[in-house]
């Protein structure tokens, strides 16, 4: 796949990001990425932030992740709560309580509606942990900057544009570092779930996102349904290969597609 084909691939809606007949809601969207992130935060509240605005919410004060899969689902619910669309003035009780995966796919959907190549990435953010001592499960976006000829990382949940440095590690980077014993895998996860199995799961989610399917947290490919100690040498080598390819997916798209197609354990 050459560069033009690659960018065209990422310009296309995926099943999770297609707004279908609700694409009209994207008319007159801001061009500035920071403004787009701010607008997304006017539609969504991360479950971790509910306690700060609970007094402003209606009865739906719990995580709503399980009620939604696609951007289309999200847009329908937003219209149901306020028919004026994606507006700055949306009240807290009219927003959806959704985690970072949903912030990510909404930004992807808007970017693709503008013809801008964009893809989801899955990894871990150190900047989300107290004193930056751990790496918290976190989904972000990469958008193509034509003028700079590079992918720009954007965290719409935390409203960070052009995310750089080691404050964010992609799942493949975390996997390889943990496998080489350069870092403790127990530093990676969220809430009460930490360790190598979490890194493995995010590695598979990142594989699917790069190949055009943004899974949900509970969409576990077979290889993610097994205990880490039950994986054999070949399976670990397969995950190593995926991690290496995901360090530079642009150069390994065909290989990543082949790996997914040939291994039922990775499919969902």
- pLDDT tens-digit readout, 163-194: 999 999 999 999 999 999 999 999 999 999 99
- pLDDT tens-digit readout, 122-163: 999 999 998 899 999 999 999 999 999 999 999 999 999 999
Region of poorest pLDDT, from 1-10, 36-45, 61-70, 88-97 = 61-70
256 CB contacts (<8 Å, ≥6 apart)? Answer: 207, 210, 211, 242, 245, 246, 249
Query: Which pLDDT belongs to residue 59?
Result: 63
Domain with 163 in it? 3-266
Query: Which pLDDT belongs to residue 60?
Result: 60
CB 16 within 8 A of CB 213: yes
Query: Which pLDDT belongs to residue 1?
Result: 85
- Quick one: DSSP state of residue 142? E
Calpha distance 150→250 (Å, rounded): 11
Cα distances (angstroms) measured from residue 164 to each of 23, 57, 63: 31, 34, 29
β strands within the chain, DSSP E: 44-45, 96-97, 118-125, 135-145, 150-155, 160-161, 168-170, 188-190, 193-194
The per-residue pLDDT of the chain, averaged, comes to 95
- Quick one: DSSP state of residue 13? P
Count up the domains in the chain and report the number: 1
pLDDT at 58 over 70: no
* Mean pLDDT in residue range 57-66: 78
What percent of the chain has a predicted confidence (pLDDT) above 70? 98
Calpha distance 102→162 (Å, rounded): 19
Calpha distance 40→68 (Å, rounded): 16
Longest dimension (CA), the chain: 55
């Amino acid at each position: 796949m050459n560069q033009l084909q690659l960018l065209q691939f990422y310009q296309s809606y995926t099943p999770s990001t297609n707004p279908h007949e609700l694409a009209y809601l994207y008319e007159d969207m801001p061009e500035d990425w920071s403004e787009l992130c701010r607008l997304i935060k006017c539609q969504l509240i991360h479950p971790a932030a509910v306690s700060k605005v609970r007094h402003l919410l209606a009865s739906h004060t719990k995580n709503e992740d399980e009620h939604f899969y696609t951007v289309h689902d999200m847009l329908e619910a937003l219209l149901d709560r306020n028919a004026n669309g994606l507006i700055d003035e949306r009240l807290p009780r009219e927003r959806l309580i959704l985690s970072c995966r949903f912030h990510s796919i909404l930004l992807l959907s808007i970017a693709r509606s503008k013809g801008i190549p964009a893809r989801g990435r899955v990894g871990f953010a150190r900047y989300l942990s107290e004193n930056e001592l751990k790496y918290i499960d976190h989904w972000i976006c990469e958008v193509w900057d034509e003028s700079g000829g590079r992918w720009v990382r954007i965290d719409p949940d935390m409203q960070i544009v052009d995310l750089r440095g080691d404050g964010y590690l992609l799942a493949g980077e975390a996997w390889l570092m943990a496998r080489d014993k350069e870092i403790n895998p127990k530093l990676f996860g969220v809430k009460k779930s930490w360790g190598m199995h979490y890194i493995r799961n995010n590695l598979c989610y990142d594989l699917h996102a790069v190949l055009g399917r943004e899974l949900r947290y509970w969409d576990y490919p077979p290889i993610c349904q097994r205990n880490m100690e039950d994986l054999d040498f070949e399976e670990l080598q397969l995950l190593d290969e995926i991690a290496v390819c995901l360090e530079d997916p642009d150069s390994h798209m065909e290989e990543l597609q082949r790996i997914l197609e040939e291994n039922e354990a990775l499919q969902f």
